[in-house]
Structures are given as C-alpha cells and as structure tokens.
Structure 1
Amino acid sequence: MTTRPEDSLADLDPFDIFDAEAARLDRYFSGLDEEGWRRPSRAEGWSVRDVLAHLAGEELYNHACLDGDLDGFTATLRREGVGEGFDGFNEWCVARRRDLPVHEVLQEWRRENGDTRARMRALGRDASLRTLAGPYPVGSQTFHYDSEYATHADDVGAPVTPDEADRRFHWRARVGLFALAEKEDSEVHAELAGERVVVRAYGTTEELPLPVFVEATVGRLPGDHPMDPRLRDALRCLA
C-alpha cells in the first residue's frame, strides 16, 4: 500500500492546532495599542497591522475554496487590477485595509476566520477542497493554514509559553517534512530524529535543530545564517 505524505500527520488534529494559533493571534492583537500596531513585523515590509490586514484579506480566497467559487475569486482580482500570483493578492489585501479603523479589520478577521475554521472542521480532514492548485484534502490544507498562522504569530511577536514551545516546534517540523514530501521535484531528503531534522541534499548531510528547520521551511532564516543558499531555497516549502 502506498504511503501518502499526509499519513505522517495522522495523529495530529489540524483543526485544534488552527484554533490554538488563531486564539494566540487574537489574544495578542486584542492587547495592542496604536504604537503596537505600527511596530514593524518580521514579515518584510509589513507592520503588525499589515499582518492583520493580510490575514483578514486572505479569507476571500479561503471562502472561495469552501464555496467552490474560485472563478468568482479570480474575476474579482481581475476587476480590481490585482497582479498575478499570491504576492499581488497579498499586497492588495493589505493596501485596501490601510485606511480602515484597525478595530474594524480585527472584527472582520475574527468573523471570517472563525467561519473558515468552523467550516473546515465540519467538512473533516478527508473531504476534498477545490483550490487554485486543484482538489486537495481539507486536513492537508488546514495544516498549511496552521503553519501560516504560527509563522505570522511569530512575525508579530505573539507570546509562546515555555510549556508549549517544544510541542509547537515538533508539530511545525512535522508539517514542514510533510510539505517537503509533497514537492515532487525536491532534491532534499529529510527526516525527524529526536530534537533534530536530518537533511540530505547536494551530497551532504546536515542535522538541523528543530527551530532552524522550521524557520527554513517558512523562509524566516536570518540573512546572515550560514546555511548553503541552495539548501535554504530547497527547504522553503510553506508560506
């Protein structure tokens, strides 16, 4: 029997993780003052407020997938003159919310993401979702959302308690391994070995601590990190 990449995550509940990371962001956003909203985030070129606007705006795509209306989604982007690819969509989402009161953007995100999380959970992990990349399992898509929310929580500095940090790095590393396994053209072989990920690529073997591997998979390694640029590019597999 063929083993699917998503089988490696069978013991994790993607919906519980999604709820937990959304709650982390909500707690953090709820306590910000004006200065906190203006503070630069770790996402290049974005303030903390811009990260919130991105999260609120991308629900247009999430709901289009759930509604089976990707044609309507792409028509909206064409009508608005949005450039090709998700970079253009992301910048459009941020720009169109910059003049709105931040409490309205926060309410929008809470409402729309709450709906997304409830509907994804109701469908169940084995259901199929129509995405721009084609039909895709709901559970797998939710794991991608989990990673994105955890990444943006770190981008804005949302607190992670010492008690949950290790567990969080473990599930994030496993989701990264899953995403790497999905890449048919990947030149990287990686596997979890305790508190490290063993990576074989380009004729070499490296043992990466979980935090380093996780940051590599989401493109958040510092610019001066000594990792081989080829490996850095190959490991990036999540938004």
Structure 2
Amino acid sequence: MDDLLRQFDPFDIFDAEAARLDAFFSSLDEEGWNRPSRCAGWSVRDVLGHLAGEELYNQACLDGDVQQVMERVARDEGITGFNDFNEWTVRQRRDVPVDQVLEEWRTKNADTRARMRERGGDGTLDTMAGPYPVGLQTFHYDSEYATHADDVGAPVSEEEADARLAWRVAVGRFALRESDSKAQVEDLADSLWVDADGVEAELSYPEFVAATVGRPKPGLDPHIASALRCLA
C-alpha cells in the first residue's frame, strides 16, 4: 500500500460512504429526489441511477470480464468513453420507479463491497486499464462515493469531518502522483501549496479535495484546476 494511504482502511471507508448515501437516499421524498445535484444536468435521482448503473462496471471488474462487458455495451448502445457510459446508465433508470433503483444499487453495491473486502487489499482485479490492486481501486471508489455524497448534500457529522477530510486529501495526493500530474504539492500543515508549471496557489484542504474531483472553487486558476483534477 502507498505510504500516503497506509493509515487508512479503504474497505471501512467504502462501507461508511455507502451507508451515508443509503441513509440519505432513504430519507428523500419526491421533491428531494427531483432536486438538482452538484453534477451538471443531473438530479439527485440521476446520481442514484449513476451509482446503480456503474455497478455493471464494478462487478465486471471482479468477475474478470470487464473488457468484454464494456465492449459489448459500447457496441450495442453506441457508447464511446466513460462519459457516454455514465449518461447511458442514468437514462436507463429515469423511467424506473425510484424504489427499484435504490434497491438495485443497495443490493449490487453491498455485493461489490463484500467481494472486494474478501479479496483483500493486496489482491488484484481486472479494470479497463488492466490488473490493479483491490485496495487502491477501493480508494478510488471511496472518493467517488464521497464526491457524490457531497454532490447530493448527504450530511457529514462534525465527529467524522476531520477524519474524512484527511483520507480524501491523501487519496487526492496519491491520485495525482499515480497520474503523473504536472502539479507539485507540498503540505503546509493546515493547507497545501500547489505549483503547476510555475503557476502557484495555496489551497485549504477542502479546496484541494474539491479541485481533485473536478469541483474547483470559483476563481481558481484554470491551469491549476486542470492539473489537480485526477479523480473525476
């Protein structure tokens, strides 16, 4: 496990973020489902549809046939790239009763989480980029779930906020290094200094996390925002 991530348990985080989303989704009425999310063009209901739909990819990774599954979907549905895939999964579920979509996501994600935990952090699974460590893939899922929880406004308690921010900063820094980003990042104890090809900025931890998942603060230099985006 990468040194940045060693102190965190990716499987416990995945469980916690899934539980957060489940509790939030379970509390919604029709107005809540139809409210716009932070994802452009998607309602809160659409975010749930996306989470349910991407289990096709998650479980194909575990089954070892992700290339074949994604190629078949691309061929049959005319999909090119993950953005098209994401929009397709949302469209597929817009006319399905929301209770059914919630149960689909809840059941399939529980199975994904159990299978990944059983395989263990040092195990491997198939991905579109080839074999990849289960523990690291789980951290990517952790970030995905935390990001979408924030997108829909799922609450985070004061007791968990600091620990949640700590692992998100670590995952962001790991993902930048993994993607060979041009951004250089230095920890200043309570903020981060970032340099991207000579363009510098000091970001708070929440601002850094937001930039790594493609939700930069207004006014952040576009060069830095682009260099930091590594998880969305």
Report matched runs for 1:61-210 at 5 Å. 61-184=57-180, 186-210=181-205
Kept in 2: contact 1:177–1:191 (CA 8 A): no
Aligned to 1:51: 47
Aligned to 2:227: 234
Mapped to 2, the partners of 1:52 and 1:170 lie a distance apart of 26
Amino acid at match of 1:169: L
The total of aligned residue pairs comes to 232
Kept in 1: contact 2:67–2:128 (CA 8 A): no
- The offset of 1:179, in angstroms, is 0.2
Mapped to 2, the partners of 1:204 and 1:79 lie a distance apart of 42
> TM-score when scaled to structure 2?
0.96
Q: What SS does the corresponding residue of 1:169 show, helix, strand or coil?
A: helix
- The offset of 1:60, in angstroms, is 0.2
- The offset of 1:153, in angstroms, is 0.2
Mapped to 2, the partners of 1:7 and 1:100 lie a distance apart of 43
Q: What RMSD in Å do the two structures reach over aligned CA positions?
A: 1.3
Amino acid at match of 1:215: A
Kept in 1: contact 2:184–2:195 (CA 8 A): yes
Mapped to 1, the partners of 2:127 and 2:150 lie a distance apart of 26
- The offset of 1:80, in angstroms, is 2.8
Amino acid at match of 1:214: V
Over the matched positions of the two proteins, sequence identity in percent amounts to 62
**Segment of structure 1 superposing worse, 137-146 or 68-77:** 68-77
Aligned to 1:11: 7
Mapped to 2, the partners of 1:192 and 1:161 lie a distance apart of 25
Amino acid at match of 2:213: V
Kept in 2: contact 1:190–1:200 (CA 8 A): yes
Q: What SS does the corresponding residue of 1:198 show, helix, strand or coil?
A: strand
Structure 1 residue 212 and structure 2 residue 207: aligned? yes
Q: Where do 5+ consecutive residues of structure 2 fail to align?
A: none
- The offset of 1:36, in angstroms, is 0.5
- The offset of 1:50, in angstroms, is 0.2
Q: What SS does the corresponding residue of 1:131 show, helix, strand or coil?
A: coil
- The offset of 1:79, in angstroms, is 4.2
Kept in 2: contact 1:197–1:208 (CA 8 A): yes
Mapped to 2, the partners of 1:193 and 1:118 lie a distance apart of 37
- The offset of 1:194, in angstroms, is 2.2
| Residue number among 31, 34, 41 corresponding to 1:38 in the alignment | 34
- The offset of 1:204, in angstroms, is 4.2
Mapped to 1, the partners of 2:63 and 2:130 lie a distance apart of 14
Q: What SS does the corresponding residue of 1:206 show, helix, strand or coil?
A: strand
Kept in 1: contact 2:74–2:80 (CA 8 A): no
Aligned to 2:21: 25
Runs of 4+ in 1 over 6 A off after TM superposition: none
